[in-house]
Amino acid sequence: MQRSSDPFVTFVEDLFRELGPVQCRAMFGGYGVYFRGRMFALIAEDRLYMKTDADLARDYEDSGSEPFVYHTDRKAIQMSYWSMPEDALEQPALARRWADRSLEVAAKAAKKKAGRTSKKSKASKTGPKSASKKSTDQSKAGSSVKQPLAARKSLFKAKKSGKKTGKPKK
C-alpha cells in the first residue's frame, strides 16, 4: 500500500494501525478513510471526522466533538460525521474504540442502502406493468383521455376532503 505524502493522512493511517490496513482515498479536496472497502471516516482540512448515526453523534457531541459541515452557495449542510475527540487522537486504543463504533454505523448504513436499492429495482420491474394495467382500467371505465396533472391533483384533494367532484358550473 502506497503511503500518502500528506502528513495528517499518514498520521491517521498510523492512528488506526491496530484496526488493520486502512486506506485513505482522495475525494472532494479531502480524503475518505476506508477499512475493508467501507468508508467509516473522512479527513477534511486536517481534521478527522468519524461516521455516526443519531445515537453515536450524541456520544461524540458529549465528548466535545463537532459535526462535519460543508457549505454550498445557498446553505450549510451537516453530514453524519463528527470530529474525533481530541484525547482519542493521542491514544490509539481509544481511537480504535471510536473507530469500531463508526464501523458498525457504516455497516448498518450500507445494509440499509442495499435494502433500499433492491426495493427500487423491484419497483422499477413492476412499475410499467402496473401503469399499463392502470391505463387499461381507465379505458374500461370510459376515460380514454388522460387528465392533466393539475386536474388529477385537484380531483384527488377534493376526494380526500369529501367535496363533490363534478365539473364546475358555468
Question: What pTM did the predictor assign?
Answer: 0.66
Residue 67: how many other CB atoms lie within 10 Å: 15
Domains in the chain: ranges and CATH: 7-117 (3.30.1460.30)
Residue 52: how many other CB atoms lie within 10 Å: 25
Nearest by Cα to 84 from 72, 96, 69: 96
Helix (DSSP H) and strand (DSSP E) numbers for the chain? 5, 6
pLDDT, mean of residues 41-68: 97
- Compute the distance between CA of residue 77 and CA of residue 149 in angstroms, rounded to an integer: 33
Q: Is 49 exposed, middle or buried (0-12, 13-18, 19+ CB in 10 A)?
A: buried
Indicate the DSSP class of residue 85.
P
Segment 158-170, tens digit of pLDDT:
555 555 545 545 4
Confidence band, pLDDT 50/70/90 cuts, at residue 66: very high
- Compute the distance between CA of residue 113 and CA of residue 160 in angstroms, rounded to an integer: 33
- For residues 102 and 56, the answer to whether their CB atoms sit within 8 Å is yes
Task: Check the CA dihedral 111-97-35-89 and report its sign.
Answer: positive
Segment 73-114, tens digit of pLDDT:
999 999 999 999 999 999 999 999 999 999 999 999 988 878
Indicate the length of the chain as a whole number: 170
